[in-house]
Amino acid sequence: MNTNQDIRVACVGAGYFSRFHYESWVRMPGAIPVGSCNRDLEKARATGLPAYQDILQMLETEEPDLVDIILPPVAQAKAIRTALDFGIKWMICQKPFCLSLAEAKAVTSEAEAAGATIIVHENFRFQPWYRAIKKAMDKGLIGRPLQATFRLRPGDGQGPKAYLDRQPYFQEMPRFLVHETAVHWIDTFRFLFGMPSAVYGDLRRVNPVIAGEDAGYILFDHPNGLKALFDGNRCLDHQAENLRQTMGEALIEGTEGSLVLCGDGSVELRGFGKQERQQILPPSNHDGFGGDCVHVLQSHVISGLLRGTPFENTARDYLDVIRIEEAIYRAAAEERKINLETP
C-alpha cells in the first residue's frame, strides 16, 4: 500500500497492555485511530474512541485500513479470521502469536491466501538499546562477536501476590518464562546475531504459587561461532530505578571489545585491552514502556504502508520464533541440546 491518505486503525482489545498501543496511535503521524472493540464495553469506551463489543460491527461501521489485535493468544485466531473474512489486508497481532505453532501456521497461510499481511507485535527488537547494539556490531566496533548474555531480573515474581496487580493470568500459565517472557529475547537474539542452529534449556519453577516455570537458562548456538545465553529469573532484580525499563542487563563480547546494556537503558563500549568505557547511548528518559518501543514498532508498520519500507516480523517470518520456543521446551524436557531444522 502506498497512499497519501492517513491509515485508519481499528483496535481489538482494551486490556492492561493495550494502553501503550492506543497512546501511540493517538500521536502517530499518518494514522487515525477510529475504534476500539472489547467484550467489556466500558474498557473500550475508556480509550476515548468509538466503542464496540462486536468486531464485525466495528469493521462495517469504521472501515479501517489496519486492524491492531491486542488480545491474548486464545482469542487471536478468531479475530484474525473475522478481519480476513471482512477483507482486511493489514493487521498487527500481539505476541505470543496464537495458541500453538500449528494454529500460527494455519492463520498465516490463510492470511497469505487472502493477500493479507500480519505483523507480529514483537517490540523488544525495536527498543533503542538493541538498535544501538546492532548498529555498533554492524560497524565492527567489537570485532567478531563470540559471547552474549542477557540476565533477566525484573524482580516481580516473589510471593503469593506475584503478578496479580498487573497481569494476574501469569500465575495460571502452564508455560510462562519462555512462552511469555524469554520469547522477546529469542527474537532479539535472532535480530542481533542471526538464526540459531541449536538450543538448550534448563528451566525451573521458583515461586510455588504459579503454574509454569519462572527461572532458567537457555543456550543458543548462533552463526559464526557465537554462543548466547539467556539467564532468567523473575524473582530476582537488577540495579535500576525502573526494573521494567530493560528488565535486566546484557553483555556482548567480541574479539575487539564488548558492549554493556545497563538497567537505565544506556549502552557502553569498552575496547579490547582497555579499562575505560565509552557511552554510546545515554540512559533512556522515556517514562513509558521499553524506551517507547511500541510506538517505534507501530511507526515502522505505518512507514511500510505509506512509503513501502520493508517490514520486520511478518507472521511468516515470526514462525521461526515459535519453532525455537518449542525446541527450547523440548530441550528442557529431554535434557539435551536440540538442533534446529531449517524450515
Q: At 226, which CATH number? A: 3.30.360.10
Going by C-beta distance under 8 Å and a sequence separation of 6 or more, which residues neighbour residue 251?
A: 147, 148, 149, 258, 259, 260, 261
- pLDDT number for residue 343: 44
Instruction: Establish if 286 belongs to a structural domain.
Output: no
pLDDT digits (tens, 9 = 90+) for 203-224: 999 999 999 999 999 999 999 9
Domain that holds residue 102: 7-121+295-312
Report CA 34 to chain centroid distance, whole Å: 25
Instruction: Establish if 317 belongs to a structural domain.
Output: no
Number of Cβ within a 10 Å radius of residue 289: 18
Whether residue 140 is found in the same domain as residue 245: yes
Whether residue 149 is found in the same domain as residue 265: yes
Give the residue-averaged pLDDT of 47-63: 98
pLDDT digits (tens, 9 = 90+) for 15-54: 999 999 999 999 999 999 999 999 999 999 999 999 999 9
Whether residue 140 is found in the same domain as residue 96: no
Whether residue 251 is found in the same domain as residue 194: yes
Whether residue 132 is found in the same domain as residue 104: no
pLDDT reading at 327 higher than 90: yes
Whether residue 106 is found in the same domain as residue 169: no
Whether residue 142 is found in the same domain as residue 249: yes
Flag whether the pTM goes above 0.85: yes
CA dist 20 and 49 (Å) reads: 15
